Amino acid sequence: MQVDGYEIAPKANLDGAILEDVSLVEADLSEANFRGAILRRADLTGAKLVGADFTEAVLSNAVLDGADLTKASLYKADLTGVRMVGANLTQATLTWTILRDADLTNATLTKARPFGADFTGTDLVAADLSGAIFERAVLRGTDLSNARLVGTILKRAVLSGTVLFGADLTDADLSESSIHWPFADQETLWPEGFDPEAAGIVVQDSARQPLKLGARLTDAVGFAREMHHGAVRKGTQIPYLSHVLAVAALAIEDAASDPELHEQIEEISVAAVLHDVVEDTPVTVDEVSERFGEEVARIVEACSDAETMPKPPWRERKEAYIEHLEEADQAVLCVSLADKRHNAHCIVNDARMIGTDFWKRFSAGPQEQIWYYSEVTRVLVARRPGPAAEELRRTVEQLCDLAEMASTQKSPE
């Protein structure tokens, strides 16, 4: 059988295929290769997809009711809004998969591996998740009512607004997972007699105890304005201060959503504002420490790839920075992630508007930029998984496509 020129059969090679809005109801595509394929709004109801590879595929708003995805790989796939009622995902790989606002009612995810996956707003009512590994997964607003989670690992998962009423949590590991008020004190969201704190869940009463930012942040903004005075973003007339303020905003939002960083949110916000003062101005780490504290100085130093002028060679600096991120703590990763998110976003926007001439702004060419942003994203996604890192990953994919076009002297359409 052929659909839109593609052979539809077991073990079919559909790498990069575009199959939007197609009907593949009850098709047998066991062990098929869908890596990077686009299947938006495709109808795969009842399809046999055992062992299929959907790595980095896009299946947003697709229908897979009753589909068999046993041992399938959905690594980094985008399943936003997908409908998978009654689907079988036994032993499926869902690492870093995006499953926002999806419907997996009565689905089976026994021994699946959704490590770091994003299930925000997803319906998993009565789903069987026994033995699945949800470590570091994001389950904000997820409905797990009457779900079976026997032996399920939810360690360090984000459970804010998660509904677990009637769920079977026998032998489940929820240690170091987090939940935020006002959801934490609504007993109807938990199985009867279940004690979140006794299970090792970090209960955050964030609405009653709002996170506060002090006068140090105001001082830091003034200091950054003074130190970066006259500096602009490469190839523009945009004051450089806009970048550090954008990074601070992103870092504050990320830290506020992570209970582990709540006690450090002021230091993180101040360090984000100052993250380039050591690298790009005469200010030293000691000066930052004396004025803003040792912890702020530590984060700023960790986010700097050079402290001397002239700076070491570009590749040498970037390799050392990436190596350092592999061991950095979450406060440093939070600021670094915010910095790379804003940089990547600006690069994509400007490269699209200007074309291949845009890349002449940088001392390192398009291929070097592809290497650097791919590597730094790999580390940040692995070390600080979650929506912010996934946003970076998607932006960097676009950046790499644009850089590749530039390196072959092709302007984007």
The one-letter amino acid at 175: S
Helices (H), 194-263: 215-227, 241-256
C-alpha–C-alpha distance, residues 272 and 268, integer Å: 6
How far is C-alpha 224 from the geometric centre of its chain's CA atoms? 28
| Alpha-carbon span 80 to 156, nearest angstrom | 22
Is residue 280 part of the annotated active site? The answer reads yes
Distance of CA 221 to the CA centre of its chain: 28
State which amino acid sits at residue 1: M
Q: Say if residues 203 and 176 touch (Cβ distance below 8 Å).
A: no
Q: Are the C-beta atoms of residues 59 and 82 closer than 8 Å to each other?
A: yes
Exposed / middle / buried, residue 181 (Cβ in 10 Å: 0-12, 13-18, 19+): middle
Single-letter amino acid, residue 224: A
Q: Which two tokens stand for residue 193?
A: 């007699």
Selected catalytic residue, list 280, 287, 329, 375:
280
How far apart, in whole angstroms, are the C-alpha atoms of residue 304 and residue 279? 6
Q: What's the Cα-to-Cα distance from 317 to each of 145, 235, 276, 307, 308, rounded to whole Å?
A: 50, 22, 14, 11, 11
> How many angstroms from the chain centroid is the CA of residue 231?
31
Active-site position among 123, 173, 254, 279: 279
- Sign of the CA dihedral running 188, 190, 195, 200: negative
Q: How far apart are CA 325 and CA 84, in angstroms?
A: 37
Give the separation between CA 138 and CA 54, rounded to whole angstroms: 21
Integer Cα distance of 173 and 302 in angstroms:
33
Verify whether residue 197 is a known catalytic residue: no
What residues are annotated to the active site? 279-280
